[in-house]
Amino acid sequence: MHRLPLPLLFLLLCSRAEAGKIIGGTECKPHSRPYVAYLETVTSQHTLVTCGGFLIRQDFVLTAAHCAGRSITVTLGAHNIKEKEDTWQKLEVAKQFPHPKYGDNTHYDIMLLKLKKKVNLTLAVGTLPLPPQFNFIPPGRMCLVAGWGMTEAEVLDSNTLQEVKLRLMDPQACRQFMTFDHNLQLCVGNPRKKSAFKGDSGGPLLCAGVAQGIVSYGRVDAKPPAVFTQISHYRPWINEVLKEN
């Protein structure tokens, strides 16, 4: 399968009309993933799309570069994104930092978001640790991804936060994606049709309590495997942006 053109990829993975989902997963215990963020992006075409992300500092969220737009609003502390709770903290993004090498080939699909103000850390809102540079996680490791994306390939997005366990696969399993690069990306899937899908873009891949990957792209039919940005490769860039801001 050829890699999807970026505009189509953005529509498939991150649109509100076909909002993303966790395929084959289960509903999270409310507020058990306090770092997961819900992103609403106004695009250059003035349409509203949704993505995921995760809090790494009180004023910074990490997400996918293809979730960039004219403006972004971040909601933290949510479980059912349609039912506002006292735990919600909704903030505007002051500045977007897509990776400078990000382009139409979907490599370097990572972006930092500086919030207009710091969030309050509570039981429902917390940060997620990042891996060190050159951190290697072997194929076969079971990890977890969470998001409000689609729960089936042809249904609307989930109102409640979903999660699913996924296995890190050998890079050869992603050879169907023509420009997959195992130095920059992780190949993740599950043979029993569990995956991240539309609307989950930008969400974290959690391995042993550490964010190792970011949902990037997958197949149109939602069948595994899917491709995740490998965070450890980008630690020097992340550290530099955080230090300067």
- Catalytic residue, candidates 15, 158, 195, 201: 201
Answer yes or no: 66 catalytic: yes
- Distance of alpha carbon 231 from alpha carbon 245, whole angstroms: 19
Answer yes or no: 232 catalytic: no
Answer yes or no: 109 catalytic: yes
Buried b (16+ CB within 10 A) or exposed e, 20-30: bbbbbbeebee
Query: Do residues 16 and 38 lie in contact, with contact meaning Cβ atoms separated by under 8 Å?
Result: no
Helix (H, G, I), strand (E, B) or coil at 64: coil
Half-sphere exposure of 191 (CA within 13 A, CB side): 4
- Catalytic residue, candidates 31, 79, 107, 109: 109
- Catalytic residue, candidates 15, 31, 66, 233: 66
Q: For residue 216, which of 206, 205, 207, 227 has the smallest C-alpha distance?
A: 227
Q: What is the DSSP string of 142-197?
A: EEEEEES-BSSTTSPBPSB-EEEEEEE--GGGGTTSTT--TTTEEEEE-TTT-EE-
Cis peptide before 204 (omega within 30 of 0): no
Active site residues: 66, 109, 201
